[in-house]
Amino acid sequence: MKLLLGIAVVVLALADAGQSPLQRRVVKDVLDYFHSRSNVQFLFREQSVEGAVERVDSSGTFVQLHLNLAQTACRKQAQRKQNCRIMENRRKPVCLACYKFDSSDVPKVLDKYYNCGPSHHLAMKDIKHRDEAECRAVEEAGKTSDVLYLPGMFAFSKGLPA
């Protein structure tokens, strides 16, 4: 049993080490969002990340993650959240997260989209198409064609004759 626990800790540490700081930030944000939902009573932990995409362009960094979560034995209000063991044969929701960060030293979120649900839920064709469209829109955030021109943004005045 101790051997299995040791292997699990090593695997989790290696998985975390393979993620960029922005990817870890997205995982944390998605977990916070998931735990804030009223129908979630137990804590969930990241089980795995599949299909991580990170693209850098002139407008910032786009991050897309398929995140597999696993339910733990701890309630959401638990004081000690580090020692929560994953419950086998319990809910294992899947989250799709798409984030666009700017290029500053401390990246700010320009736009984001996430959708969490049972794995069969996210595989449905219409939901998959909606997710793809939302992620494309997030990836385009911050590009120059995205600028809105609002009333009062520019002022033009006619000079008096000299």
Q: Could you tell me if 98 and 85 are in contact, meaning their C-beta atoms sit under 8 angstroms apart?
A: no
Residue 9 pLDDT level (bands cut at 50, 70, 90): very low
For residue 114, count CB atoms less than 10 angstroms from its CB and return exposed for 0-12, middle for 13-18, buried for 19 or more.
Answer: buried
Q: Which domains does the chain have, with CATH numbers?
A: 21-140 (3.10.450.10)
User: What pLDDT score does 155 carry?
Assistant: 63
Write the pLDDT tens digit of every residue in 66-122: 999 999 988 888 766 678 888 888 888 899 999 999 988 888 999 999 998 887 766
Tell me, what amino acid is at 109?
A: V
**Per-residue pLDDT at 154 exceeds 50:** yes
Residue 87 tokens read as 């419950």
The CA R_g of the chain, rounded to the nearest whole Å, is 21
